[in-house]
Structure 1
């Protein structure tokens, strides 16, 4: 009988240990399952956030592309009108946008029409340096007009159109006059060109005499 009682005690003791071990393991399992469920919920929330952020990224990209295209068209139109005003109707300005290493880049082209033939060249290869000067001038004006940070300031030019031939320089002068009127901006310009200085409402002539700068008013006109 004693042997039987000892056996029963060992069995009961072992059973208690197993029950205790089971209880501990079950609690660990329940805790792990709860943690797993929390992680799954967190993962689902993160997936939703990632999906939302991706949609926002796509929206911003499309908005950026649209805004870039709008600015591109505005600049193309203004520069083309400038070129046509000065050189005639058979010339256009085009911008080609691309992305290189994740960064947007722009290439400028001049399109010249000769009857049914269209010739596309880089500005520096089109009809001499005068084209580059006029495009540079028009781009500066276009960027100023498209910018929201420089609303009412003057346009300051240093020797604009210095490579434009005498055949077209009078057109440049009249173009600048019209730009000032249309956009209601003062133009402050340094130039050696007589045509450009003569369009000014007020012009100053600076000469070096005996090592000193002598400034004289050489023209004064009322705004038309």
Structure 2
């Protein structure tokens, strides 16, 4: 009877030791998993904070970009409108509409003509002939040059800048070019067949083809 009891006690002690060892192993695993969970939670918190910061930066950059875009848009509209009104009169305005197309900014150009307080909005090519397009093209070129740092200094080189402007307004284009040169402190180098435009130059050259050879002579020099 005593031997049976000793055997039972030994079995219980052995099983208890096994349970203690198993408990110790599982406790160690649990502590390791808890430590790993704490580390991952910290990493997740850091990643979440980083995502929040990146979202704030993205939003700030987007707003800054939109603000800068709007500022440049207004500058270009004002300059082109000034050029149109200088040449054709006060009843013309230039407008740019910005929108997103497939994630990219897209710009549409319009001319607003005012007749007896009625505003008519058309595409440049549909507004009173090709002369409008010539002046807008000239003004946009100047606006882009003046609005960026890509071409801070240097002459403005033009090839027949007012080819489609009628004689009624060509004198105004000539004076506009003179003003542009003075205001922006840029030399204007221009190729033209138009007498009005050549007469505003401080120095003009006449190129003639004679016997298959181009002959260049000073055509006109105006005193400063």
Same fold (TM over 0.5): yes
User: What is the CA-CA distance between 1:108 and the residue it aligns to?
Assistant: 0.5
Q: What is the correspondence of 1:212-223 to structure 2 with a 5 Å cutoff?
A: 212-223=213-224
Task: Indicate whether 1:84 and 2:85 are aligned.
Answer: yes
Tell me the distance in 1 between the aligned counterparts of 2:6 and 2:209: 127
Q: Secondary structure at the match of 2:149?
A: coil
Structure 1: which 5+ runs fail to align? none
Per the TM alignment, residue 103 of structure 1 is displaced from its structure 2 partner at its CA by 0.7
**What is the CA–CA distance in structure 2 between the aligned matches of 1:219 and 1:13, rounded to whole Å?**
119
Residue 153 of structure 2 aligns to a residue whose secondary structure is: coil
Tell me what 2:49 maps to: 48
Deviations for 1:98-151, whole angstroms, at most 9, x for unmatched residues?
111111111100000001211000001000111011000000011111112211
**1:131-181 CA deviation, whole Å, 9 max, x = no partner?**
011000000011111112211211111110111111111110110011001
- 1:173-222 deviations in whole A, cap 9, x for unaligned? 11001100111100111111111111111111122222222111111223
Question: Quick one: distance in 2 between partners of 1:195 and 1:165?
Answer: 11
How do 1:1-224 residues align onto structure 2 when only pairs under 5 Å count?
1-223=2-224
- State the alpha-carbon separation in 2 of the partners of residues 3 and 203 from structure 1: 129
Report SS of the residue matched to 1:207: strand
**Unpaired runs of at least 5, structure 2:** none
In structure 2, C-alpha distance between the alignment counterparts of 1:65 and 1:42, rounded to whole Å:
34
CA distance in 2, matches of 1:221, 1:6: 128
**Distance in 2 between the 1:18 and 1:212 partners?**
110
**Separation (CA, whole Å) in 2 of partners of 1:109 and 1:171:** 22
Q: Which has the higher mean CA deviation after the structures are superposed, 144-153 or 124-133?
A: 144-153
CA distance in 2, matches of 1:107, 1:18: 79
The Cα of 1:3 is off from its aligned counterpart by 2.8
Give the number of aligned pairs: 223
Of residues 91-100 and 210-219 in structure 1, the stretch that sits farther from structure 2 once superposed is 210-219
1:208 & 1:10 partners in 2: Cα distance?
122
RMSD: 1.1
Give TM-score scaled by structure 1 length: 0.96
Q: Tell which deviates more after alignment, 73-82 or 195-204.
A: 195-204
Alpha-carbon distance between aligned partners in 2 of 1:199 and 1:68, rounded to the nearest angstrom: 35
